[in-house]
Structure 1
Amino acid sequence: MATIKEITPTKLAQKLNQSNDIFLLDVREANEVAICNIHGSTHIPMNLIPLYLDKIPDEVDIVIYCHHGIRSLNVANYLVENGFDSDYLYNLTGGIDAWALMVEKQMARY
């Protein structure tokens, strides 16, 4: 099994400031996204990923996130199993909760 790289919220914020070439994939449920999300994310709930693999680009950095980082890690592993190159996949360490604590401190938390 491929090792999925982790990216900290702070490092992701730096990368987003430098480049638009990052695909942010939010795999939380719709009710969670309604509370908060990272601007520019694409929302595909974890259970629908198999139906929307064609909506996820390859050969571009993909940062996957959920609430705390568990579901997103599972999705990253699923993507590798389905032909995505692990060199382009990142799991957001601590999920959107860590993002709210470290980067967007005014963001609603749950």
Structure 2
Amino acid sequence: MATFQNLTVDQVKAKIDSGESFRLIDVREPGEHAVAHIEGAELLPLSRANDWIGDLTDDSELVIFCHHGGRSAQVASFLAARRGFTRVANMVGGIDEWSQRIDPTIARY
């Protein structure tokens, strides 16, 4: 069974800083995104996954996050196990940990 990778917020920040090419996907809801978001991340709400999940491709690495990492792990697991994606990762700790460790200007909720 295909699996996904777990990345820490520090690992994701290092990927951004080094200029690696990947898609950073936020699966939280629009209201959550309005409170706190990571610059450059794409908002694809989990509640509307049926609208966008079929459009994702495996041609670039996908790093998925949510508030703490639970919803994003579900999406990463689905993409790896059901769609056969090989370059998909879950950002453990989500935006909450990002705001604590990487960018304290991002609001916590």
* Normalised TM-score (structure 2): 0.90
Unmatched tracts of structure 2, length 5 or more: none
* Contact kept? 2:2, 2:84, Cα under 8 Å: no
Match of 2:94 in 1: 95
SS in 1 for 2:83: coil
Match of 1:65 in 2: 65
- Aligned-residue sequence identity (percent) comes to 33
Match of 1:9 in 2: 9
**How many Å apart are 1:77 and its aligned residue?**
1.4
Unmatched tracts of structure 1, length 5 or more: none
Q: What is the one-letter code of the residue matched to 1:78?
A: F
Q: What is the one-letter code of the residue matched to 2:106?
A: M
Give the aligned length.
109
Change (3 A) 1:16 1:27: same
Superposition pairs of residues 13-92 of structure 1, within 5 angstroms: 13-85=13-85, 87-92=86-91
